Structure 1
Amino acid sequence: MMQPILSWQIWAALSAVFAALTAILAKLGVEQINSNVATFIRTIFILGLTASIVSATRQWQSLHSIAPRSLVFLALSALATGASWLCYFRALQLGEAARVAPIDKLSVVLVALFGVTFLGEKLSLANWLGVALMALGAILVAYKF
Protein backbone atom coordinates (compact mmCIF):
# COMPACT_ATOMS: atom_id res chain seq x y z
CA MET A 1 0.00 0.00 0.00
CA MET A 2 1.31 3.46 -0.94
CA GLN A 3 1.84 5.87 1.92
CA PRO A 4 -0.39 8.93 1.38
CA ILE A 5 2.44 11.36 2.15
CA LEU A 6 4.30 10.07 -0.90
CA SER A 7 1.31 10.26 -3.24
CA TRP A 8 1.59 12.72 -6.09
CA GLN A 9 -2.12 13.42 -5.71
CA ILE A 10 -1.63 14.74 -2.16
CA TRP A 11 1.21 17.00 -3.27
CA ALA A 12 -0.83 18.22 -6.27
CA ALA A 13 -3.82 18.98 -4.02
CA LEU A 14 -1.58 20.91 -1.62
CA SER A 15 -0.17 22.80 -4.59
CA ALA A 16 -3.70 23.82 -5.58
CA VAL A 17 -4.47 25.03 -2.05
CA PHE A 18 -1.28 27.10 -1.93
CA ALA A 19 -1.88 28.44 -5.44
CA ALA A 20 -5.34 29.60 -4.35
CA LEU A 21 -3.86 31.29 -1.29
CA THR A 22 -1.22 32.84 -3.56
CA ALA A 23 -3.91 34.58 -5.61
CA ILE A 24 -5.73 36.01 -2.60
CA LEU A 25 -2.60 37.03 -0.69
CA ALA A 26 -0.94 38.47 -3.79
CA LYS A 27 -4.04 40.50 -4.63
CA LEU A 28 -3.86 42.05 -1.16
CA GLY A 29 -0.10 42.51 -1.48
CA VAL A 30 -0.10 44.40 -4.78
CA GLU A 31 -2.70 46.97 -3.77
CA GLN A 32 -0.18 49.64 -2.72
CA ILE A 33 2.98 48.64 -4.61
CA ASN A 34 4.26 48.31 -8.16
CA SER A 35 3.55 44.78 -9.40
CA ASN A 36 7.15 44.23 -10.57
CA VAL A 37 8.51 45.25 -7.15
CA ALA A 38 5.96 42.93 -5.55
CA THR A 39 7.19 40.06 -7.73
CA PHE A 40 10.79 40.83 -6.75
CA ILE A 41 9.93 40.81 -3.04
CA ARG A 42 8.01 37.54 -3.45
CA THR A 43 11.01 36.00 -5.21
CA ILE A 44 13.34 36.96 -2.35
CA PHE A 45 11.03 35.21 0.12
CA ILE A 46 10.81 32.11 -2.08
CA LEU A 47 14.59 32.00 -2.41
CA GLY A 48 14.96 32.19 1.38
CA LEU A 49 12.31 29.55 1.98
CA THR A 50 13.71 27.04 -0.50
CA ALA A 51 17.29 27.62 0.68
CA SER A 52 16.12 26.97 4.24
CA ILE A 53 14.36 23.75 3.23
CA VAL A 54 17.35 22.46 1.27
CA SER A 55 19.65 23.34 4.19
CA ALA A 56 17.40 21.84 6.86
CA THR A 57 17.05 18.60 4.90
CA ARG A 58 20.75 18.55 3.91
CA GLN A 59 19.89 18.18 0.24
CA TRP A 60 22.47 20.54 -1.23
CA GLN A 61 24.35 19.12 -4.18
CA SER A 62 27.20 20.39 -6.29
CA LEU A 63 26.32 22.12 -9.53
CA HIS A 64 28.92 19.86 -11.15
CA SER A 65 26.76 16.86 -10.29
CA ILE A 66 23.83 18.26 -12.28
CA ALA A 67 23.71 17.47 -15.99
CA PRO A 68 24.12 20.53 -18.24
CA ARG A 69 20.86 19.64 -19.99
CA SER A 70 19.03 19.79 -16.64
CA LEU A 71 20.58 23.17 -15.86
CA VAL A 72 19.52 24.58 -19.23
CA PHE A 73 15.93 23.41 -18.80
CA LEU A 74 15.81 24.64 -15.20
CA ALA A 75 17.11 28.03 -16.34
CA LEU A 76 14.48 28.19 -19.07
CA SER A 77 11.83 27.12 -16.56
CA ALA A 78 12.99 29.90 -14.23
CA LEU A 79 12.65 32.46 -17.02
CA ALA A 80 9.15 31.18 -17.80
CA THR A 81 8.24 31.27 -14.11
CA GLY A 82 9.52 34.82 -13.77
CA ALA A 83 7.57 35.95 -16.81
CA SER A 84 4.46 34.19 -15.49
CA TRP A 85 4.77 35.80 -12.08
CA LEU A 86 5.32 39.28 -13.52
CA CYS A 87 2.25 38.91 -15.74
CA TYR A 88 0.19 37.36 -12.94
CA PHE A 89 0.94 40.11 -10.43
CA ARG A 90 0.16 42.79 -13.02
CA ALA A 91 -3.12 41.05 -13.87
CA LEU A 92 -4.00 40.85 -10.16
CA GLN A 93 -3.25 44.53 -9.77
CA LEU A 94 -5.61 45.36 -12.64
CA GLY A 95 -8.36 42.77 -12.17
CA GLU A 96 -10.33 40.78 -9.65
CA ALA A 97 -8.59 37.72 -8.19
CA ALA A 98 -11.68 35.59 -8.85
CA ARG A 99 -11.41 36.42 -12.56
CA VAL A 100 -7.63 36.54 -12.98
CA ALA A 101 -6.92 33.16 -11.37
CA PRO A 102 -9.12 31.08 -13.71
CA ILE A 103 -7.41 32.56 -16.77
CA ASP A 104 -4.03 31.85 -15.15
CA LYS A 105 -5.17 28.27 -14.53
CA LEU A 106 -5.68 27.80 -18.26
CA SER A 107 -2.05 26.78 -17.88
CA VAL A 108 -3.47 23.37 -16.94
CA VAL A 109 -5.06 23.12 -20.38
CA LEU A 110 -1.84 24.31 -22.03
CA VAL A 111 0.22 21.77 -20.08
CA ALA A 112 -2.00 19.00 -21.43
CA LEU A 113 -1.59 20.30 -24.98
CA PHE A 114 2.17 20.83 -24.61
CA GLY A 115 2.62 17.46 -22.89
CA VAL A 116 1.00 15.67 -25.81
CA THR A 117 2.72 17.80 -28.46
CA PHE A 118 6.25 18.05 -27.07
CA LEU A 119 6.60 15.17 -24.60
CA GLY A 120 4.65 12.50 -26.45
CA GLU A 121 2.23 11.98 -23.57
CA LYS A 122 -1.07 10.26 -24.29
CA LEU A 123 -4.51 11.36 -23.15
CA SER A 124 -7.70 9.33 -23.44
CA LEU A 125 -10.98 10.66 -24.78
CA ALA A 126 -12.16 11.15 -21.18
CA ASN A 127 -8.95 13.09 -20.44
CA TRP A 128 -9.54 15.36 -23.44
CA LEU A 129 -13.12 15.93 -22.30
CA GLY A 130 -11.76 17.00 -18.90
CA VAL A 131 -9.28 19.37 -20.56
CA ALA A 132 -12.09 20.91 -22.64
CA LEU A 133 -14.31 21.29 -19.56
CA MET A 134 -11.47 22.97 -17.63
CA ALA A 135 -11.02 25.43 -20.47
CA LEU A 136 -14.74 26.14 -20.66
CA GLY A 137 -14.99 26.42 -16.87
CA ALA A 138 -12.12 28.91 -16.68
CA ILE A 139 -13.70 31.04 -19.37
CA LEU A 140 -17.13 30.96 -17.70
CA VAL A 141 -15.69 31.96 -14.32
CA ALA A 142 -13.39 34.64 -15.69
CA TYR A 143 -15.75 36.65 -17.80
CA LYS A 144 -18.76 38.71 -16.83
CA PHE A 145 -21.70 37.89 -19.04
Structure 2
Amino acid sequence: MWLVFALLSAVFAALTSIFAKVGIEKVDSTLATAIRTVVVVGMSWLMVFVTNTQSGIANIGKKSWIFLILSGLATGASWLCYYKAIQIGDVSKVVPVDKLSVVITLVLAFVFLHEEFTAKSVIGCILIAAGTLLMVL
Protein backbone atom coordinates (compact mmCIF):
# COMPACT_ATOMS: atom_id res chain seq x y z
CA MET A 1 0.00 0.00 0.00
CA TRP A 2 2.93 2.36 0.64
CA LEU A 3 3.81 2.17 -3.05
CA VAL A 4 0.34 3.37 -4.07
CA PHE A 5 0.65 6.38 -1.76
CA ALA A 6 4.20 7.05 -2.96
CA LEU A 7 3.06 7.01 -6.60
CA LEU A 8 0.12 9.29 -5.79
CA SER A 9 2.57 11.59 -4.02
CA ALA A 10 4.68 11.74 -7.18
CA VAL A 11 1.64 12.52 -9.33
CA PHE A 12 0.46 15.28 -6.98
CA ALA A 13 4.00 16.67 -6.72
CA ALA A 14 4.15 16.85 -10.52
CA LEU A 15 0.80 18.64 -10.64
CA THR A 16 2.02 20.98 -7.89
CA SER A 17 4.93 22.10 -10.05
CA ILE A 18 2.78 22.77 -13.10
CA PHE A 19 -0.01 24.51 -11.17
CA ALA A 20 2.52 26.58 -9.21
CA LYS A 21 4.38 27.77 -12.30
CA VAL A 22 1.14 29.04 -13.81
CA GLY A 23 -0.10 30.41 -10.47
CA ILE A 24 2.99 32.44 -9.60
CA GLU A 25 2.98 34.38 -12.83
CA LYS A 26 2.92 38.04 -11.73
CA VAL A 27 2.80 37.01 -8.03
CA ASP A 28 5.67 37.28 -5.54
CA SER A 29 7.00 33.79 -4.85
CA THR A 30 6.97 34.31 -1.07
CA LEU A 31 3.33 35.40 -1.13
CA ALA A 32 2.49 32.46 -3.37
CA THR A 33 4.18 30.09 -0.91
CA ALA A 34 2.20 31.58 1.98
CA ILE A 35 -1.08 31.12 0.09
CA ARG A 36 -0.17 27.53 -0.75
CA THR A 37 0.74 26.90 2.88
CA VAL A 38 -2.63 28.16 4.14
CA VAL A 39 -4.36 25.78 1.73
CA VAL A 40 -2.17 22.87 2.89
CA VAL A 41 -2.84 23.68 6.56
CA GLY A 42 -6.58 23.82 5.94
CA MET A 43 -6.58 20.57 3.99
CA SER A 44 -4.44 18.84 6.61
CA TRP A 45 -6.70 19.84 9.50
CA LEU A 46 -9.76 18.87 7.48
CA MET A 47 -8.27 15.37 7.10
CA VAL A 48 -7.49 15.23 10.84
CA PHE A 49 -11.15 15.88 11.63
CA VAL A 50 -12.48 13.64 8.84
CA THR A 51 -10.38 10.75 10.18
CA ASN A 52 -11.23 11.70 13.78
CA THR A 53 -7.58 11.71 14.90
CA GLN A 54 -7.53 15.12 16.59
CA SER A 55 -7.50 13.55 20.08
CA GLY A 56 -4.03 12.14 19.35
CA ILE A 57 -2.48 15.59 19.74
CA ALA A 58 -2.41 15.16 23.53
CA ASN A 59 -0.27 12.02 23.18
CA ILE A 60 2.54 13.59 21.15
CA GLY A 61 5.81 13.49 23.08
CA LYS A 62 8.40 16.26 23.39
CA LYS A 63 10.85 14.60 20.99
CA SER A 64 8.15 14.19 18.36
CA TRP A 65 7.10 17.85 18.76
CA ILE A 66 10.69 19.01 18.28
CA PHE A 67 11.26 16.93 15.17
CA LEU A 68 7.84 17.72 13.68
CA ILE A 69 8.57 21.43 14.13
CA LEU A 70 12.03 21.02 12.57
CA SER A 71 10.42 19.13 9.69
CA GLY A 72 7.91 21.95 9.24
CA LEU A 73 10.70 24.54 9.19
CA ALA A 74 12.62 22.50 6.62
CA THR A 75 9.45 22.14 4.53
CA GLY A 76 8.84 25.88 4.68
CA ALA A 77 12.41 26.66 3.64
CA SER A 78 12.18 24.11 0.83
CA TRP A 79 8.90 25.53 -0.47
CA LEU A 80 10.17 29.12 -0.35
CA CYS A 81 13.29 28.18 -2.30
CA TYR A 82 11.35 25.98 -4.71
CA TYR A 83 8.77 28.65 -5.54
CA LYS A 84 11.48 31.24 -6.12
CA ALA A 85 13.38 28.79 -8.33
CA ILE A 86 10.36 27.94 -10.51
CA GLN A 87 9.41 31.60 -10.72
CA ILE A 88 12.76 32.58 -12.22
CA GLY A 89 13.69 29.30 -13.92
CA ASP A 90 12.21 26.59 -16.10
CA VAL A 91 10.17 23.99 -14.23
CA SER A 92 11.77 21.31 -16.40
CA LYS A 93 15.18 22.29 -14.98
CA VAL A 94 14.20 23.16 -11.41
CA VAL A 95 12.33 19.92 -10.70
CA PRO A 96 15.25 17.56 -11.49
CA VAL A 97 17.55 19.59 -9.23
CA ASP A 98 14.88 19.58 -6.52
CA LYS A 99 14.69 15.81 -6.81
CA LEU A 100 18.35 15.56 -5.84
CA SER A 101 16.68 15.51 -2.44
CA VAL A 102 16.33 11.77 -3.08
CA VAL A 103 20.12 11.38 -3.11
CA ILE A 104 20.57 13.67 -0.10
CA THR A 105 17.83 11.83 1.81
CA LEU A 106 19.42 8.43 1.17
CA VAL A 107 22.78 9.66 2.45
CA LEU A 108 21.22 11.31 5.51
CA ALA A 109 19.13 8.18 6.23
CA PHE A 110 22.32 6.13 6.14
CA VAL A 111 24.28 8.52 8.38
CA PHE A 112 21.62 9.48 10.92
CA LEU A 113 19.03 6.70 10.82
CA HIS A 114 21.52 3.89 10.17
CA GLU A 115 19.45 2.60 7.28
CA GLU A 116 21.05 0.17 4.88
CA PHE A 117 23.07 1.71 2.04
CA THR A 118 23.59 -1.05 -0.51
CA ALA A 119 25.38 -1.21 -3.83
CA LYS A 120 21.94 -0.78 -5.40
CA SER A 121 21.42 2.43 -3.39
CA VAL A 122 24.81 3.79 -4.43
CA ILE A 123 24.15 3.02 -8.10
CA GLY A 124 20.70 4.59 -7.86
CA CYS A 125 22.16 7.75 -6.30
CA ILE A 126 24.80 7.99 -9.02
CA LEU A 127 22.19 7.52 -11.76
CA ILE A 128 19.86 10.14 -10.25
CA ALA A 129 22.72 12.62 -9.95
CA ALA A 130 23.92 11.89 -13.50
CA GLY A 131 20.38 12.17 -14.85
CA THR A 132 19.94 15.49 -13.10
CA LEU A 133 23.15 16.81 -14.63
CA LEU A 134 22.05 15.66 -18.09
CA MET A 135 18.68 17.38 -17.75
CA VAL A 136 20.07 20.63 -16.39
CA LEU A 137 23.14 21.17 -18.55
TM-score band (shorter)? over 0.9
Shift of 1:64: 3.0
For residue 131 of structure 2, what is the aligned residue in structure 1? 137
For residue 49 of structure 1, what is the aligned residue in structure 2? 43
Question: One-letter code of the match for 1:37?
Answer: L
TM-score (norm 2): 0.96
With 120-129 and 84-93 compared, the bigger mean Cα shift is at: 120-129
Distance 2:134 2:118 in 1: 24
Q: Which runs of 5+ in 2 are unaligned?
A: none
Secondary structure at the residue paired with 2:27? coil
Question: One-letter code of the match for 1:88?
Answer: Y
> RMSD of the alignment, in Å?
1.0
1:40 aligns with 2:34: yes
1:15 aligns with 2:9: yes
Distance 1:114 1:77 in 2: 14
Runs of 4+ in 1 over 3 A off after TM superposition: none
TM-score (norm 1): 0.91
For residue 68 of structure 2, what is the aligned residue in structure 1? 74
Q: Which runs of 5+ in 1 are unaligned?
A: 1-6
Identify, as 1 or 2, the structure richer in helix. 2
Number of aligned pairs?
137
Identity rate, percent: 44
For residue 90 of structure 1, what is the aligned residue in structure 2? 84
